[in-house]
Amino acid sequence: MFCANLQATVLEVKAIDGLGMTVDVLVLNGYVKEGDTAIFCSLDGPVVTEIRGLLTPPPSREMRVKSDYIHHKQVKGALGVKIIGNGLDKVMAGTPMMICGEYDEEEDIKEEVMSDLSKLTNKLNTDSKGVMVQASTLGALEALLQFLREDTKPPIPVSAIGIGTIHKRDVTKISIMNERGVSEYATILAFDVKVEPDARDHAREMGVRIFTADIIYHLFDQFTRFMEELSETRREEAAAIAVFPSICRILPQHIFNQKDPIIVGIEVAEGILKIGTPLCIPALEGLYIGKVTSIEMNGKQQDTARKGASVAVKIENEHNPTLTYGRQFDSTNSLYSQVTRASIDALKTNFKDKLENEDWRLVVKLKKVFGII
């Protein structure tokens, strides 16, 4: 039933050639006239503009289909109308449009227009580092933020939010994450919104990823898959630097080759021994024994041996191939992973989830042994 009191909702904000940025509004009740002062909601606060044009498509055409529009001096609900005005680029879809009449208090209208957004202020807070989230409506944005922050483990940080179509400026905004050294967050999660072609082109140039989906879980799956692939790539790159902590005891009854390559049986007393681990003896002024190139248990090759395991290891020392077991060192000397500040940082950044609490305690212990600050 028609009512004279205005009831209008923003459907979409889009740029139209020759018209600039426009707002598609569904007028459910009431009247809207050319020259009216319209007030919209945006993330930056209320937008106040004079309505410079009211357009509707020709009969049998949709608002989104490009054609010659019909101009109106006044429209009456219920009707979809395209509004022309200034400063409409940040208006949020899904929020109300209100008209400030001759006897209305503009500040009161602004407050009412922004009321829905004000209730969500805490939920819309952003982090200094994180992805950008773009949704079709305020309600959709709220749902996506809640999912990313409360339902995902670990939470996905969000540094910027927006409503509606993704434009070139949105890409530029989130590209700053590349400069801050967190390129994985140079990402836009677009939920049920369009992406302008020039925004996609700009994203490729700026190293920004845009993931789009109409279902929240699909969007999450895309980003999670990307992060897993990125983590694996970084681990592969850091493998040559990262040194897992370990202390090993030589088993004197299992000495297979005393000289390079040294092949001995060892027991992993603490930590994790991996292929590629450099070993040394701190008690002998840090004597470098060599790098583990093979680990074997019960006749089977493996990449890792954990605390309590007894394995045969091959140790190669290209810098000092004359080093000999029984001459420079023997089973009374424990073998330590030769860690450095760089290797510990690589562990923290790329392999944090691969170490248990006791392994990290061993890292602290080795820092003291090697005098690492």
DSSP-assigned letters across all residues of 274-306 = ETT-EEEEGGGTTEEEEEEEEEEETTEEESEEE
**Rounded to 5 degrees, what are φ and ψ at 192?**
60, 40
What share of the chain has pLDDT > 90, as a percent? 52
Give the H or E element holding residue 171: helix 168-174
The pTM of this model reads 0.61
Q: What is the DSSP letter of 5?
A: S
Q: Which of 65-69, 113-117, 263-267, 322-326 shows the lowest mean pLDDT across its residues? A: 65-69
Q: Which of 265, 267, 288, 264 is nearest to 277 (CA)?
A: 288
Residue 311's region, left for phi above 0, alpha for psi from -120 to 50, else beta, is beta
What share of the chain has pLDDT > 70, as a percent? 95
| CA distance linking residue 218 with residue 191, whole number of Å | 10
Higher pLDDT, 102 or 100: 100
Q: What is the DSSP letter of 354?
A: G
Q: What is the pLDDT of residue 126?
A: 78
Instruction: Note the pLDDT tens digit of each residue in 149-161.
Output: 888 888 889 998 8
Cis bond leading into 154, ω under 30°?
yes
Q: What is the pLDDT of residue 58?
A: 79
Per-residue pLDDT band for 66 (boundaries 50, 70, 90) equals low
Residue 157 makes CB contacts below 8 A (sequence gap 6+) with 127, 129, 130, 131, 185
Q: What is the pLDDT of residue 324?
A: 93
Q: Which of 94-98, 254-258, 284-288 shows the lowest mean pLDDT across its residues? A: 94-98
Per-residue pLDDT band for 343 (boundaries 50, 70, 90) equals very high
Instruction: Note the pLDDT tens digit of each residue in 123-151.
Output: 677 788 999 999 888 888 888 888 888 88
Greatest mean pLDDT range, 63-77, 109-123, 200-214? 200-214
Helices then strands, each counted (H, E), the chain = 9, 22
Q: What is the DSSP letter of 198?
A: H
Q: What is the pLDDT of residue 2?
A: 42
Instruction: Note the pLDDT tens digit of each residue in 301-325.
Output: 999 999 999 999 999 999 898 999 9
Per-residue pLDDT band for 1 (boundaries 50, 70, 90) equals very low
Per-residue pLDDT band for 236 (boundaries 50, 70, 90) equals confident
- Within 13 A of 144's CA, how many CA atoms are on the CB side? 31
Query: Is residue 65 predicted with pLDDT exceeding 60?
Result: no
Q: What is the pLDDT of residue 191?
A: 92
Instruction: Note the pLDDT tens digit of each residue in 175-197.
Output: 999 999 899 999 999 998 889 99
CB 334 within 8 A of CB 281: yes
Q: What is the DSSP letter of 58?
A: P
Query: Is residue 250 predicted with pLDDT exceeding 80?
Result: yes
Query: Is residue 254 predicted with pLDDT exceeding 80?
Result: yes
